[in-house]
């Protein structure tokens, strides 16, 4: 199939910042793109050939959108899987496949999958409702503290809470959920795996994530991770195993814990471009977005090595500010060598909302980390 400068159409479900960044590569290759998103102000709107507004969880909306394209992919997991299955049965190529997505979309199902496939992960228990969980905590069947996760609809730290007392359960939504044993760990790591239908597979270097203590969001993604080479090799091997078991096509971001005794446990995966791979736009030979496209179109995969050390800083809305966004001191950070801001195109800011990111590249990872700290202190996402 001729994808380039032709009648071929790629459909993307979800028009957020991940879609917008993917579209910069479809434009580079001149591939026609259709995007579906619930918001009329979706960041991807400015960068696609045709934009459709609609509900990603509605069967008819997703099905009718998918019938117009040759290959369908997504930048968010919360999409109607039944519609994807019908499209696939009618000959539309859907990558990653609905089967892969079905194993990942529900976090309880995802955790059970690791257990069934002997993939190391923290012990967990599933619950239909918060009431069921409360009664087990009350009867001391589950011991505190533990990590509560909503089985579906969680994102960016929403849908995750550390439960230290029975009272912490009172404010949680009454949804299907899981309770995970707290894992003492020294690092949170991630490996992005990219795979095409022909079976070619590559991994990006292991990255290390530093988290905001309250918002439960990543503050810094550091590549390469500052870890022992043996641990890095183990992390990449486990990520490849997970990818093989899910049989995914496209990108799979595998988030992990490095325990105090250097074991690797899988936390969770995302079958799409991911926050932990944003550094790759500036720091890698082939960005995660380009490699996702290469993979789903069954083209040769690009080099996943880094050209330089890279650190990504998330730009999130400051507490106490809501409304029309202002990026305070953006000119000051742009005056620093090796600093590139990415603004996502969301007009309205609110506390902890992801509004953009900044990449810092440097030959020296320690120097890059110092600059990242400086950038973090300088730039503020506020409102008028």
Q: In this structure, what token pair is assigned to residue 200?
A: 């070619």
Question: For residue 216, is pLDDT > 70?
Answer: no
Q: For 38-78, write each residue's pLDDT tens digit.
A: 999 999 999 999 999 999 999 999 999 999 999 999 999 99
User: Does 254 lie in the same domain as 348?
Assistant: yes
Model pLDDT, residue 126 = 96
User: Does 138 lie in the same domain as 85?
Assistant: no
Q: At what angle do helices 229-246 and 107-116 cross, to 10 degrees?
A: 110
d(CA 375, CA 371) in angstroms, rounded, equals 6
d(CA 66, CA 31) in angstroms, rounded, equals 16
d(CA 359, CA 209) in angstroms, rounded, equals 14
Model pLDDT, residue 155 = 62
User: Does 175 lie in the same domain as 192?
Assistant: no
Model pLDDT, residue 39 = 96
In a domain, 118, yes or no: no
CB 135 within 8 A of CB 90: no
Question: For residue 16, is pLDDT > 70?
Answer: yes
Domain of residue 150, CATH code: 3.30.1490.20
Boundary-marking domain end, from 57, 76, 94:
94
User: Does 163 lie in the same domain as 74?
Assistant: no
Mean pLDDT across the stretch 90-113? 96
User: Does 189 lie in the same domain as 213?
Assistant: yes
Tokens 């359960």 correspond to 169
Question: For residue 97, is pLDDT > 80?
Answer: yes
Task: Count the helix, strand and coil residues of the chain and give each as a percent rounded to the nearest 5.
Answer: 30, 30, 40
Rg of the chain over all Cα atoms, to the nearest angstrom: 21
Cα separations in angstroms, 32 against 92, 102, 294: 16, 28, 15
User: Does 208 lie in the same domain as 175?
Assistant: no
CB 271 within 8 A of CB 247: no
User: Does 196 lie in the same domain as 177?
Assistant: no
Looking at the 3D structure of the chain, how many domains does it have?
Answer: 3
Model pLDDT, residue 156 = 58
- The whole-model pTM stands at 0.94
Q: Which amino acids are annotated as binding site for ATP, given as ranges?
A: 107, 149, 180-183, 188, 267-268
Boundary-marking domain end, from 181, 205, 230:
181
In a domain, 140, yes or no: yes
In a domain, 101, yes or no: no
User: Does 299 lie in the same domain as 235?
Assistant: yes
Q: What is the band of 157 on the pLDDT scale with cuts at 50, 70, 90?
A: low
Model pLDDT, residue 159 = 86
CB 346 within 8 A of CB 305: no
Boundary-marking domain end, from 181, 208, 229:
181
One DSSP character per residue, 95-126 reads SS-HHHHHHHHSHHHHHHHHHHTT--B--EEE
Mean pLDDT across the stretch 12-33? 97
Model pLDDT, residue 74 = 97
Q: For 110-154, write each residue's pLDDT tens digit.
A: 999 999 999 999 999 999 999 999 999 888 889 899 999 999 876
CB 351 within 8 A of CB 339: no
Mean pLDDT across the stretch 262-284? 96
Q: In this structure, what token pair is assigned to residue 173?
A: 């939504």
Cα separations in angstroms, 346 against 21, 118, 342, 349, 375: 14, 41, 12, 7, 21
Its domain, for residue 169, covers: 123-181
Q: How many CA within 13 A on the CB side of residue 351? A: 7
Q: For 336-376, write each residue's pLDDT tens digit.
A: 999 999 999 999 999 989 999 999 999 999 999 999 999 99
Mean pLDDT across the stretch 102-116? 95
One DSSP character per residue, 268-319 reads EEESS--GGGTTHHHHBSS-HHHHHHHHHTTPPPPP--BSSEEEEEEEEBPT
Model pLDDT, residue 358 = 98
Domain of residue 353, CATH code: 3.30.470.20
Question: For residue 315, is pLDDT > 70?
Answer: yes
Q: Which amino acids are annotated as binding site, given as ranges?
A: 107, 149, 180-183, 188, 267-268
Mean pLDDT score of the chain: 95
Model pLDDT, residue 54 = 98
In degrees and rounded to multiples of 5, residue 89 shows phi and psi of -65, -20
In a domain, 114, yes or no: no
Q: What is the band of 171 on the pLDDT scale with cuts at 50, 70, 90?
A: confident
In a domain, 109, yes or no: no
Nearest to 339 by CA among 355, 351, 356: 356
User: Does 161 lie in the same domain as 41?
Assistant: no
The percentage of residues in the chain with a pLDDT greater than 90, rounded to a whole number, is 88
User: Does 190 lie in the same domain as 177?
Assistant: no
In a domain, 354, yes or no: yes
User: Does 286 lie in the same domain as 338?
Assistant: yes
d(CA 91, CA 205) in angstroms, rounded, equals 35
In a domain, 1, yes or no: no
User: Does 238 lie in the same domain as 145?
Assistant: no
Tokens 């500036």 correspond to 282
Question: For residue 158, is pLDDT > 90?
Answer: no
């Amino acid at each position: 199939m001729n994808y380039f400068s032709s009648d071929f159409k790629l459909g993307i479900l979800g028009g957020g910042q991940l879609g917008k960044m993917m579209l910069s590569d479809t434009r580079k290759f001149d591939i026609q793109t259709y995007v579906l998103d619930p918001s009329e102000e979706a960041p991807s709107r400015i960068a696609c050939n045709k934009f459709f507004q609609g509900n990603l969880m509605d069967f008819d909306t997703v099905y009718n959108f998918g019938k117009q394209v040759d290959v369908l992919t997504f930048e968010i997991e919360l999409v109607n899987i039944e519609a994807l299955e019908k499209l696939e049965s009618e000959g539309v190529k859907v990558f990653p496949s609905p089967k892969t997505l079905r194993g990942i979309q529900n976090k309880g199902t995802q955790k059970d999958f690791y257990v069934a496939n002997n993939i190391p992960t923290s012990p967990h228990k599933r619950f239909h409702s918060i009431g069921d969980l409360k009664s087990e905590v009350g009867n001391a069947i589950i011991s505190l503290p533990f990590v509560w996760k909503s089985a579906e609809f969680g994102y960016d730290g929403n849908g995750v809470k550390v439960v230290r007392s029975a009272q912490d359960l009172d404010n949680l939504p009454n949804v299907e959920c899981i309770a995970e044993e707290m894992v003492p760990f020294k690092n949170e790591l991630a490996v992005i795996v990219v795979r095409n239908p022909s079976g070619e597979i590559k991994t990006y270097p292991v990255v290390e994530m530093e988290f905001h203590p309250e918002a439960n969001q990543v503050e810094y993604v550091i590549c390469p991770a500052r870890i022992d080479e043996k641990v890095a090799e183990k992390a990449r091997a486990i990520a490849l195993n997970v990818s093989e078991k899910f049989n995914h096509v496209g990108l799979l971001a595998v988030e992990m814990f490095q325990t105090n005794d250097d074991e690797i446990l899988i936390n969770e995966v995302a079958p799409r471009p991911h926050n932990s791979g944003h550094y790759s736009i500036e720091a890698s030979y082939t960005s995660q977005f380009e490699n996702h496209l290469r993979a789903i179109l069954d083209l040769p995969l690009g080099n996943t090595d880094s050209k330089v050390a890279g650190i990504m800083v998330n730009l999130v809305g400051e507490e106490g500010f809501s409304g029309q966004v202002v990026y305070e001191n953006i000119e000051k950070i742009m005056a620093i060598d090796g600093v590139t801001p990415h603004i996502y195109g969301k007009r309205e800011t609110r506390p902890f909302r992801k509004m953009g990111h900044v990449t810092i590249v440097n030959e020296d990872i320690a120097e890059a980390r110092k600059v990242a700290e400086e950038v973090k202190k300088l730039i503020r996402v506020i409102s008028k």
